[in-house]
Amino acid sequence: MRKIYSLALGLIASVVFAQDGAPATPYYNGFNFNQSGMALKNALSTKITTTHINELSYSPGVWNALKVTDQDPDNPGFVLLLYGFSESVCPAGSSNDDDHRRRNANNNGGDPNCEWNREHVYPQSLGTPDLGQEGAGADAHHLRACDVDRNGQRGNKLYTTGSGNSGNSGSGWYPGDEWKGDVARILMYMYLRYPNQCVPTNAVMGNTVTSDPNMPAILLQWNAEDPVSEYEDNRNIYLNNANNAWGQGNRNPFIDNPYLATLIWGGPVAQDRWGINATDSFFEAKLTVYPNPAANNEINIYSETNLEEIQLINLNGQLIQQIQKPKAVNNTYQLQNLPDGFYILKMTSGGQSAAKKIIVN
């Protein structure tokens, strides 16, 4: 047992060290990133709400903001259009141009002939209450430049699975391979910023994660599969600066680091831009334990490889629980009825082991 105890102490040190990754931006100075699960969700929600000091008007404020924030990094003077994919140039007077990827920034309005307008990524009518044209309805982190026709085609259809370019998918709407990560990070931001008004399940089809019935699992998948682009970074940086003409003062933390979503909700391991999950083990990199601290004395383990054994070890080195050949549902294992305390959760697969410190309270 002493050997296990020594191992446990070493594992605690390594897990704590792995949480030492930190963002470069001073926006997060003093923020406690030694949190996960709902504690981290609530702390980030408070952060992005209290720093949102400039409320934009829907018109002209959002129009002017999008002309700056949505500029194509490779084509100054043009805005990128959400859901768009064609690289051809919009012909003057053409009405058959709804698949285009960019527009002249000054061609904004409601005309389907080569103009763009404001897409509510979270549909305006699906908010509880309706988002309107102020507050959530005028939050520039949420609104994106979009072709007029394509915006109308999407309407208020719920997002759903698909592949390739954007378009209808069954009765829902697939945002496209290029844009699905953007959409996921925007909807997660809106959930934290307006937690009662912008519940993700009201805008997205599909199963939800075990730890949060409001979070569709597909958003975590999209967040992991589509990494952050320079375009998203540029938007985030501009809107964060409250001294900019159309800056709000707050940021979308899931653009800063998509892995924050993994820490909160679990699911596929997303891009970790701060090295929070620094590890040399491929097996460990594909593991997520959530929520942590545990909720309702339950812990979930998401693993992209089949686990052969799970051990729960207390800080005295005692083996509290051991499960061999555990069964998973959608790559997720669940431990229930855990006693309160601090533990090391040791998982084994294919001759490799990984450990996570967990708290049950």
Dihedrals φ, ψ of 103, to 5°?
Answer: -140, 155
Residue 262 covered by a domain:
no
Write the single-letter amino acid at 115: E
Does 162 lie in the same domain as 246?
Answer: yes
On the CB side of 136, CA atoms within 13 Å amount to 26
Identify the domain boundary among 211, 237, 256: 256
Does 288 lie in the same domain as 251?
Answer: no
Please give the helix or strand (H or E) that residue 313 lies within, else none.
strand 309-314
- How far is 76 from 61, CA to CA, in rounded Å? 20
Rg (CA), the chain: 22
pLDDT in tens, the chain (361 residues): 222 222 333 333 333 323 334 576 789 998 988 788 899 999 999 999 999 999 999 999 999 999 999 999 888 889 999 999 987 767 654 545 567 889 999 999 988 878 899 999 999 999 999 999 999 999 999 999 999 989 999 999 999 999 999 999 999 999 999 999 999 999 999 999 999 999 999 999 999 998 899 999 999 999 999 999 999 999 999 999 999 999 999 999 999 999 999 989 988 888 888 877 655 455 676 788 999 888 889 999 998 888 989 999 887 677 889 999 999 998 899 999 999 888 889 888 876 778 888 989 8
Residue 105 covered by a domain:
yes
Contact call for residues 118 and 98 (beta carbons, < 8 A): no
Please tell me the chain's helix, strand, coil percentages from 3-state DSSP, rounded to the nearest 5: 30, 25, 45
Neighbouring-strand partners of residue 143: 120
Does 320 lie in the same domain as 298?
Answer: yes
Does 180 lie in the same domain as 48?
Answer: yes
Burial 154-164 (b: 16+ CB within 10 A, else e): beebbbbebee
Residue 273 covered by a domain:
no
Residue 269 covered by a domain:
no
Residue 267 covered by a domain:
no
3-state secondary structure of 192: helix
Residue 143 covered by a domain:
yes
Does 222 lie in the same domain as 343?
Answer: no
Does 221 lie in the same domain as 114?
Answer: yes
Tell me: cis bond preceding 293? Omega within 30 of 0 counts: yes
- How far is 20 from 10, CA to CA, in rounded Å? 16
11: domain CATH number is: 2.60.40.3080
Residues 6+ apart with CB under 8 A from 156: 123, 124, 125, 126
User: What's the total number of domains in the chain?
Assistant: 2
- How far is 350 from 327, CA to CA, in rounded Å? 16
Residue 62 covered by a domain:
yes
Domain span at residue 325 reads: 2-21+283-360
Does 118 lie in the same domain as 195?
Answer: yes
Does 11 lie in the same domain as 59?
Answer: no
Q: Which residue has the tokens 């394509």?
A: 150
DSSP string, 239-275: HH-TTSTT--S---HHHH-THHHHHHH-SSPPP-TT-
- How far is 311 from 343, CA to CA, in rounded Å? 10
Does 11 lie in the same domain as 70?
Answer: no
Category of 260 on φ-ψ map: left (φ > 0), alpha (ψ -120 to 50) or beta: alpha
Counting Cβ atoms within 10 Å, is residue 243 exposed (0-12), middle (13-18) or buried (19+)? exposed
Neighbouring-strand partners of residue 72: 75
Residues 6+ apart with CB under 8 A from 226: 177, 178, 179, 180, 181, 182, 184
Write the single-letter amino acid at 287: L
Residue 342 covered by a domain:
yes
Counting Cβ atoms within 10 Å, is residue 327 exposed (0-12), middle (13-18) or buried (19+)? exposed
Does 335 lie in the same domain as 219?
Answer: no
- How far is 165 from 99, CA to CA, in rounded Å? 9
Contact call for residues 66 and 79 (beta carbons, < 8 A): yes
Does 34 lie in the same domain as 17?
Answer: no
Name the token pair of 280: 């040399």
Does 210 lie in the same domain as 81?
Answer: yes
